[in-house]
Every structure is written in structure tokens, then in C-alpha cells.
Amino acid sequence: MTTVFARPKLQLFGVSTAFVVRKISLSDLGNALRLGWEDFKAIPTHAIVLCVMYPVLGLFLFRLVIGYSVLPLLFPLAAGFALIGPFAALGLYELSRRRERGEEPGAWDAIEVLRAPSFGAMLELGVLLFVLFGVWIGAADAIYTATFGHAPAASIPDFAERVLTTPAGWTLIIVGCGVGFLFAVLALCISVVSFPLMLDQHATAIDAIRTSIRAVKTNPVEMAVWGLVVAVLLAVGSLPFFVGLCVVLPVLGHASWHLYRKVVEPDQNPPQEEPRTPIGHRYAADFPASLFPWSRER
């Protein structure tokens, strides 16, 4: 059961400058995951198509590691998915939003997020997350270099032996996980509800970040558990070779939308949207024009 726990909305020249944050419970996290799973089952093909880039990227990173002796960065690169995941899930938020309104969303409805009034703000925060991702990779590389020097690992067994059976390797694990935890906490604080809020209530990037931080401050235990759940599911989904992310990522994306719904008070006067025009059947002959559904509008 959720309860309101925030100051009322402020109005400045008719524009909302704050959003009401609710106090949630651990059961709300389970409910959000359940609803995310329901969304995934309702539109599994669409979700997998949207997220297939992750397993492909994972396999590419694996090949990159094997071919260019950057094996120590494989785990940081995989872990870094969690930092940019909230931005990558924009299309999934749109699908969940439409299904919540009683619509039957199609695959191309996810692309409609590009036309959202606040897409520019989403892009700004997305760039920030990518910068955070880059800083994390740089920090991970610096930690490895400080621990083992510049000598590359000869092979995967050699790398595993150095990391798992030597004092330096245990130091690398402890320091690396500690620094990675700080990056994960920062990303969680600034983005746990930011992107759904910008999509749903057209918040600015700054207001969305502030609301997300307040959501974490209001629900510290619940958000810590949510972060742990995300980390565990991403770890499980990364096996084998990141293929499991085809299911884990869409479920988490949909669940994040429902978590936002539980944490942030809905807009009492939502903006009116134009009714959808039925799309009808699409045929192979429509490709590639069907990739750009708005081009059909006249």
C-alpha cells in the first residue's frame, strides 16, 4: 500500500515545479515486477525486438575482448549496462503506458517516444548516463592497471586465475565492486523514475532528477532492494553470453514503468492526446517505409 510522502506541488506561472512522491512498501516492488512480467507476456515479440541489441552487443563485446586483449574490461562493460538501461528502455515505457490506457500497443508504438514533447530532456539525461558509463569504464581500467600493471592477460583461464587466486586479484574484486557500487547508486538516484516521469508528465531533466532523488530519499530501503533486484536479474540474464537479457531487460523496463506509477503521484490534469489512428495490417511490401510510421501521416 502506498502513501503520499512529499510536499504539495508548487505552481510557478502555471507550470508544475515539483511532483508528489509516495512512500511505498516492499510488496509494491513485487507488484511492479509482476505487472512488468504481464506486459512482457502481452507483447513479448515487441519487447524482444527492442532489446535484442543487448545480447548482440554482449556477443560483440565478448569477441572484442578475445580479439583485442581487453579482457579485464569485459565485466565492467557488462555491469555498465545497468547505468544506461533506464535510457535504453524508453520504448518499453511507452508500450507499458499505452497498455495501461487500455490500448493494444504495436511494436512501432515504441518509436512514438521520439515524438514526446520531453524527448529533448530525455536525451539530455541519456547523454549524462552515457558519460557516467564512460567514466565507470575509465575508472575500472585504472583500477586494473593499478593492481596488475599494463601487462595484458594471456587468456581467459590466465585472467581468471590471476583474479580469483591471488591477493592482487581479491583486491581488484573488492575495490572494483566498491567503486562500481557507488556508480550504481548514483545512477539509481538520478534515474529510477526520471525517464517515465519525463515521458508521462513532460518534466524537465532537472525536475525529473530532483524527483528521482526525492523518491530514493523517501524510500531508501525499498530503492536499495530494487537496485539489488536489478543487479541480480542482470547478472542472471548475462548467462550465457548475455542472451538472457532478451527477457530480463524488457521485464525490468516494463516493471520500472509500474514502479514509477507507484512512487510518483499521477498528474490530476494530464495533457490531452490525439486519438490513435488504427494502423491496420502491415505487409512485407511496406518495408522499409514501415520503419517510419509517421511518414504515412498527411
Cβ contacts of residue 72 below 8 Å, gap of 6+? Answer: 140, 141, 144, 148, 153, 159
CA distances from 263 to 128, 196, 242, 277 (A): 23, 11, 30, 32
Please say whether the beta carbons of 219 and 23 come within 8 A.
yes
Position 8, amino acid: P
* Top-confidence residue, 150 or 180: 180
> What grid cell was written down for 223?
530503492
Please name every residue paired with 264 in a beta bridge, in sequence order, or none if there are none: 21
Averaged pLDDT score across all residues of the chain = 81
Q: Could you tell me which of 101, 80, 121 has the C-alpha nearest to residue 245? A: 80
Please say whether the beta carbons of 62 and 241 come within 8 A.
yes
Q: Please provide residue 101's backbone torsions phi and psi, each rounded to the nearest 5 degrees.
A: -85, 5
| pLDDT tens-digit map of 141-162 | 899 889 888 777 667 777 788 8
Asked if pLDDT for residue 121 goes beyond 90, the answer is: yes
How far, rounded to the nearest angstrom, does the alpha carbon of residue 188 sit from its chain's CA centroid?
A: 10
Asked if pLDDT for residue 46 goes beyond 90, the answer is: no
CA distance 200 to 271: 9
Asked if pLDDT for residue 96 goes beyond 60, the answer is: yes
Asked whether the CA dihedral 163, 165, 166, 172 is positive or negative, the reply is positive
CA distance 142 to 122: 30
Range in 101-105, 106-110, 215-219, 254-258 with the lowest mean pLDDT:
106-110
Please say whether the beta carbons of 96 and 43 come within 8 A.
no
Asked if pLDDT for residue 9 goes beyond 60, the answer is: no
Asked if pLDDT for residue 212 goes beyond 70, the answer is: yes
| pLDDT tens-digit map of 54-85 | 666 666 666 665 555 667 777 887 788 788 88
CA distance 226 to 207: 22
Position 235, amino acid: A
Q: What is the pTM of this model?
A: 0.79
Greatest Cα-to-Cα distance within the chain, rounded to the nearest angstrom: 67
Please say whether the beta carbons of 187 and 181 come within 8 A.
no
* Top-confidence residue, 298 or 182: 182
CA distance 139 to 183: 10
Instruction: Sort strands 11-12 and 22-23 into parallel, antiparallel or unpaired.
Output: unpaired
CA distance 223 to 26: 9
Task: Answer whether the bond into residue 86 is a cis peptide, omega within 30°.
Answer: no
Please say whether the beta carbons of 84 and 148 come within 8 A.
no
Q: Could you tell me which of 126, 256, 280, 274 has the C-alpha nearest to residue 193? A: 256
Q: DSSP string of 269-292?
A: SPPP-PPPPP-----GGGTTGGG-
Query: What is the pLDDT confidence band of residue 296, given thresholds at 50, 70 and 90?
Result: very low
> What grid cell was written down for 267?
498528474
